[in-house]
Amino acid sequence: MTVREATRRTEVRSGVVRWFDDSARDLPWRAPDRTPWGVLVSEIMLQQTPVVRVEPAWRAWLEQWPTPADLAQAPTADVLRAWGRLGYPRRALRLQECAKAIVERHDGVVPRTDAQLRALPGIGEYTAAAVLAFAYGKRSVVVDTNVRRVLARVVAGTALPAPSYTAAERALATALTPDGDAEAARWAAASMELGALVCTAKAPKCGACPVAGLCAWRSAGSPPDAHAGRRRTQAWAGTDRQARGRVMAELRRATEPVDRALLARLWHDPRQLDRAIAGLVEDGLAEQDDANRLHLPN
DNA sequence: AATGCGGGGGC
DNA sequence: GCCCCAGCATT
């Protein structure tokens, strides 16, 4: 790396962090009274669910289950109902399993090493890094969809990152992460926030960007996305996932086990509905009683 | 490397 | 309608 490149990286980091000092959102999982558990819960909820939808659910969740031990003891049906419409309800199951593992393996304390965090259900590379940085202020390389986009633009000069996360991106993010714990944690939060508020996927607000003058994508004339058109968005209408969602919504609403005849009214294709229900049972999101009625697990 | 997995909002 | 959102687990 040349001296010029090193200087530029320093300028990018300091610019983004200074911007963050003024522009950071006032999110509850960043408040001084937050707990590592609260941070972990926020990260699980934020896996593919936008901040605005997570915030009220997070507040209610932490009020009801303020510690891992509280969630570990809760009826799973209550957990799934509290998850509500956040989407991907398997995350709620994993979060409760995670709480149980924290109680059993770590005395109820959210672990503070990458290996221990990664060993917990529902926690992958991103979430482990995020908990280390945001709950414990430790250096870790935090790369979410926001950071990927910021680095793609500012450093790589492309409109958007490739569809899947590459080793090259990880290496770049690692090289850009400051050495010190506090500095690295600050950079992680700041780079994510820039992606969420300014360096957005559509219509980025380059006029408000602290590093617009350093941005490789801007310097290249803001070329369009090379992968445009090949980013097949997942189908929704008519899919098994939609059918599963319908069933789960009904099971959350119901106070008694639900007869399959009633569920049949939720979906036009009986075979697909059966498949969806079988999948939910397989995933542990629903259970069948002796009378073949469906209910949330207890 | 590619899939399956929810749901809602912005444009 | 299309695209995106603080991803993970499985194959």
What is the tens place of the pLDDT at every residue in A180-222?
Answer: 999 999 999 999 999 999 999 999 999 999 999 999 999 999 9
* CA separation, residue A179 to residues A7, A129, A139 (Å): 15, 15, 7
* Mean pLDDT across A125-134: 98
Contact A67, A37 (CB under 8 A): yes
Report pLDDT digits (tens) over A94-116: 999 999 999 999 999 999 999 99
Share of chain A above pLDDT 70, in %: 99
| In the predicted structure, residue A2 carries a pLDDT above the cut 90 | no
Work out if A47's Cβ lies within 7 angstroms of strand C. Answer: yes
Q: A295 by DSSP, 3-state: which? A: strand
| In the predicted structure, residue A231 carries a pLDDT above the cut 80 | no
- Closest nucleotide over all strands to A47 (CA to C1'): C7
Work out if A96's Cβ lies within 7 angstroms of strand C. Answer: no
* Mean pLDDT across A229-245: 84
Residue nearest to nucleotide B9 (CA to C1'): A50
Give chain A residues 235-294 with Cβ within 7 A of strand C: none
pLDDT for position A227: 81
- Closest nucleotide over all strands to A247 (CA to C1'): B6
- Map out the domains of chain A as residue ranges: 3-25+141-219, 34-123, 240-295
* DSSP H or E segment with residue A149: helix A145-151
Q: Which CATH superfamily is domain A34-123 in?
A: Hypothetical protein; domain 2 (1.10.340.30)
Which long-range contacts (C-beta less than 8 Å, at least 24 apart) are formed by A241-245? Answer: A243/A267, A243/A269, A243/A272, A243/A273, A243/A275, A243/A276, A244/A276, A244/A279, A244/A280
Rg for chain A, CA atoms, rounded: 22
Distance, CA of A188 to CA of A182 (rounded, Å): 10
pLDDT for position A233: 75
Q: A248 by DSSP, 3-state: which? A: helix
Work out if A160's Cβ lies within 7 angstroms of strand C. Answer: yes
Catalytic residue set of A: 43
* CA separation, residue A104 to residues A72, A141, A142 (Å): 10, 28, 27
pLDDT for position A256: 97
| In the predicted structure, residue A237 carries a pLDDT above the cut 90 | no
**Around A135, how many Cα atoms within 13 Å sit in the side-chain half-sphere?**
22
What fold, for A3-25+141-219? Answer: Endonuclease Iii, domain 2 (1.10.1670)
User: Which structure tokens are listed for A260?
Assistant: 């399959």
pLDDT for position A4: 87
pLDDT for position A235: 80
Q: Place A6 in a pLDDT band, splitting at 50, 70 and 90.
A: confident
- Ranking A28-32, A81-85, A157-161, A224-228 by mean pLDDT, the lowest is A224-228
Report pLDDT digits (tens) over A247-274: 999 999 999 999 999 999 999 999 999 9
Residue scoring higher pLDDT (A1 or A55): A55
Q: Where on strand C do bases come within 7 A of a protein Cβ? A: 2-9
